[in-house]
């Protein structure tokens, strides 16, 4: 099956699989993955994102109790608090981006199901 091309945000994009091409000729020259292959790829990526979110969930629980792990006194506390705060911010940002990605992947699966 050939790509069904559309112009989207000044990009030549396949309507079915979302792949972006440099030219119409490039898009027409390549075969579009069959919908089951696209579905499998999206499901696999969604599974990876969900696994990563589960991993982050466990890390946040540990971070909420910083004094319980390796507390060595007041000097270490001020340095450790800064590191813990920075790590927490990175974790929350990462989690937020992963949730957004999971939502986009789930929406893509819904669109595939609706178009089938």
What string of DSSP letters covers 22-47?
Answer: SSHHHHHHSBPPPHHHHHHHHHHHHH
pLDDT for res 44:
92
The DSSP code for 11 is E
Same domain, 80 and 102: yes
What token pair was written down for 5?
A: 């091309």
Q: Are 29 and 40 members of one domain?
A: no
Measured between alpha carbons, how far is 7 from 63 in angstroms, rounded to an integer?
46
**Same domain for 79 and 57:** yes
So what's the pLDDT on residue 71?
52
Same domain flag for 12 and 54: no
Q: How many folded domains does the chain comprise?
A: 2
User: Would you state the pLDDT for residue 66?
Assistant: 47
Q: Tell whether 8 and 56 lie within a shared domain.
A: no
Q: Based on the domain organization, do 38 and 83 belong to the same domain?
A: yes
Q: Which residues of the chain have pLDDT under 70?
A: 1, 8-9, 34-35, 58-76, 116
Phi/psi of residue 93, nearest 5 degrees: -65, -45
The predicted structure's pLDDT at residue 72: 54
62 with 43, same domain: the answer is yes
Domain, as residue range, for 26: 1-33
State the pLDDT at residue 63: 42
Q: Are residues 23 and 42 in the same domain?
A: no
């Amino acid at each position: 099956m050939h790509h069904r091309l559309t112009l989207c945000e000044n990009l030549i994009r396949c309507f079915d699989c979302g792949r972006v091409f440099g030219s119409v000729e490039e898009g027409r020259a390549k075969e579009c993955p069959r919908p089951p292959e696209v579905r499998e790829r999206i499901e696999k990526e969604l599974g990876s994102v969900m696994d990563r979110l589960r991993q982050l969930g466990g890390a946040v629980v540990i971070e909420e109790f910083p004094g319980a792990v390796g507390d060595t006194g007041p000097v270490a506390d001020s340095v450790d608090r800064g590191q813990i705060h920075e790590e927490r911010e990175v974790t929350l940002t990462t989690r937020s981006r992963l949730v957004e990605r999971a939502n986009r992947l789930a929406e893509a699966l819904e669109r595939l199901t609706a178009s089938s």
